[in-house]
Chains A and B, each alone.
Chain A
Amino acid sequence: MHRMLGKTLYDKIWDAHLVDEQDGEAILYIDLHLIHEVTSPQAFAGLRTHGRKVRRPDLTLAVADHNVPTEGQALGVAKVADDEARLQLQTLESNVADAGVEFFPMGDERNGIVHVVGPEQGRTQPGMTIVCGDSHTSTHGAFGALAHGIGTSEVEHVLATQTLRAKKAKNMRVRIEGETAPGVGAKDLALAVIGEIGTAGGTGYVIEYAGSAVRALSMEGRMTLCNLTIEAGARAGLVAPDETTFDYLKGRPAAPKGGAWEMALAYWKGFSSDEDAKFDREVVIDAAAIAPLVTWGTSPEDVIPVTGSAPDPAAFAAPDKRAAVERALDYMGLKPGQPITEARIDVVFIGSCTNSRIEDLRAAAQVVAKALAQGRKVAPHVRAMVVPGSGLVRLQAEAEGLDQVFTAAGFEWREPGCSMCLGMNPDRLEPGQRSASTSNRNFEGRQGRGGRTHLMSPPMAAAAAIAGHIADVRELI
């Protein structure tokens, strides 16, 4: 007798949300829709044009994060200096008020980066479908939720119908096995995956992360890993929920309580790939072989160990690849074969939806505390900033005294937001400035026109702040 092939975690979430099919296109129910000021105004305008309403305001949550300043938030939106940013923030405010959508405005302690706030509030739960007009929505996959970015037309579609028209992606599993070395964390694992499969390697796939190194990660670490999935071209990353997930969720404001908790737990436990599930592609990575990583170029796939050097274009046979390497080296102001630790840093940015959670700040503060104990501070020529992912992360860090460690060493301790990750608000690089950044994209001009971004983990960024150049954190800890 033939047995049905097993299902992957992705298959199961997909099947559980299939509402209908029209001409081979699926209509998927959406459990949680996160919105922010940048990709929603045209969607609300579209609803008004067609006389449509928000179908499920209760399944929608709004924050202000992309273009908020990271100081003076208590002054309110009216005092935001940038006219266009202020208009966008005010537009969000009135749109969500009209629609009756829950909103954490700028300055509210619950506000922060959308991908920090959703999990922190317990809105993000296993087995859910979650979308947001932001590509780093993949972050929420850490909970075993199918979560990905959508465009503004789709934001409008979800607002109007609480569904998304979708085509099913292929299944890829990335198994990261073994123990990571000291000084190596989730960010390094994520960069190692992108370095391995390339920035388009995941296109058309949903990636499920598995293996002992993934199981060993905290929820914060899993969020970092899933966050960067989009930089490998895959819309969504997934980690099957386990006790780590449930422990994180328990007691959060929007997590189920009492009898509902037990009911939810039983439901969530069904969300893992079957033993005999078939993956279209499988990649295995040895965690023990991964050193602290940094990017040298202008694509997240331009990854090297901190002990490595910028590549030599002459080593590439293909002319287009050689030209791309030359262009990236030129933009980054690096010489072929130059050891990456020679790169002198102007700005250190610890923050973003990739690395601004409490565990990230703890890991960075630990390095900074070690330096302080040795009588060292942020190098005099470096501007170093820490931007917590939400008001609640900020308060937690302050309760633990982390802010004191950072400021004693010369870091700026700022208010929550996307900040210098994308240069849409006052925090940005000047032309030619070089940053050690815990964010997610090292594209040309991403952090400010002409800015040069090196991606790395929070402890590595802290080490760079102290050394004044890219440095191997293992020498500090």
Chain B
Amino acid sequence: MDAFIRLDAKAAPLPLANIDTDQIIPKQFLKTVEREGLGRGLFYDFRFDEDGREKPDFVLNRPEYKGVGILVAGDNFGCGSSREHAPWALMDFGVRCVISTSFADIFYNNCFQNGLLPVVLKADEVQALMEEARGGNHVTSVDLETQTVTAPSGRTFRFEIDANRKAKMLKGLDAIGETLQSVTAIDVFESKRALAQPWLDA
């Protein structure tokens, strides 16, 4: 996993609530056995019309938002299907941080497996960032170390994040490797389980 320490990038406003993972990456792109290349399907139905032509009005298609690294989105971002293709698609497109008032559980969790930082701010702060992101071509900064988002105007907003998740994100740690440090505890648990619930190991 890539570490996330600090990001200085363009932010794009996506002022819609309940953006679900079907919208982030529609099902026709899930039939892959790879993690890479999903960026082409990101927000596909927002970005392209029925004939596959770019919709010029959609924020991510506008020239001033090319190379966007941050999305500022409405409430309950990432609800619906558990597909990890959603963070993969965002990352493949170049997005490393999503800012919203809230995230759906599974999506939120998936972000931390991939070095995509989900930032929760208050409604008025998200609103302010969306306003400042309009027009593009401004740099918004997200600093995980200090837990702050700095808007183009210099206004700074502090966000909360679980200390443990933060530490792992800063280092880009592999969760499996970490868990395997507890392999003895897993062995012991399995032995006890086999004795207490023998029908489970048939």
Contact = CB atoms under 8 A, between A and B. Distances in A.
A142 to B, nearest CB: 19
Contact of A264 (B30, B50, B183, B199): B199
A167 B163 CA distance: 13
Given A38-B30, A200-B79, A443 B22 contact: yes
Contacts of A199: 18, 76, 79
A81 interface: no
B82 A150 contact: yes
Given A41-B33, A200-B76, A450-B50, A324 B83 contact: no
Contact of A299 (B18, B83, B114, B176): B18
A161 B104 contact: no
Contacts of A254: 202
B23 A444 contact: yes
Interface stretch (A3-11, A84-92, A175-183, A210-218): A84-92
A154 B84 CA distance: 10
Contacts of A27: 179, 182, 185-186
A125 to B, nearest CB: 8
Contact of A203 (B104, B181, B197): B104
B180 A161 contact: yes
B75 interface: yes
B22 A50 contact: no
Interface stretch (A15-23, A219-227, A401-409): A15-23
Contacts, number: 183
Given A199-B79, A233-B79, A58 B201 contact: yes
B80 interface: yes
Contacts of A157: 175-176, 179
Nearest to A135: B82
A200 B104 contact: yes
A320 B176 contact: no
B176 A235 contact: no
Interface string A154-185: 10110011110101010000000000000000
B146 interface: no
A320 B202 CA distance: 55
A25 B180 contact: no
Most A CB within 10 A of own CB, among B27, B34, B181: B27
B20 A149 contact: no
A25 B30 CA distance: 30
B198 A260 contact: yes
Contacts of B180: 160-161
A149 B196 CA distance: 27
A165 B31 contact: no
Interface in B105-160: 105-106, 109-110, 113-114
Contact of B199 (A134, A256, A446): A256
B189 A135 contact: no
Nearest to A424: B27
Contacts of A50: 176
A281 interface: no
A444 B74 CA distance: 16
A88 B33 contact: yes
B40 to A, nearest CB: 14
Nearest to B111: A151
A76 to B, nearest CB: 18
Nearest to A254: B202
A151 B33 CA distance: 14
A42 interface: yes
A42 B33 contact: yes
Contact of B31 (A82, A163, A235): A82
Given A23-B167, A39-B83, A324-B16, 18 more contacts: A22-B181, A24-B164, A27-B186, A38-B31, A134-B82, A137-B82, A148-B106, A153-B84, A161-B176, A162-B190, A163-B182, A165-B178, A169-B105, A203-B105, A256-B199, A431-B50, A446-B22, A449-B50
25 contacts: A24-B162, A27-B182, A27-B186, A38-B83, A59-B200, A66-B30, A87-B31, A88-B31, A88-B33, A149-B82, A150-B109, A151-B87, A154-B113, A160-B176, A161-B180, A163-B186, A165-B179, A203-B105, A204-B105, A233-B104, A264-B197, A424-B30, A441-B80, A444-B45, A449-B50
Interface of B: 15-18, 20, 22-23, 26-28, 30-35, 45, 50, 74-76, 79-85, 87, 102, 104-106, 109-110, 113-114, 162-164, 167, 175-176, 178-183, 185-186, 189-190, 193, 196-202
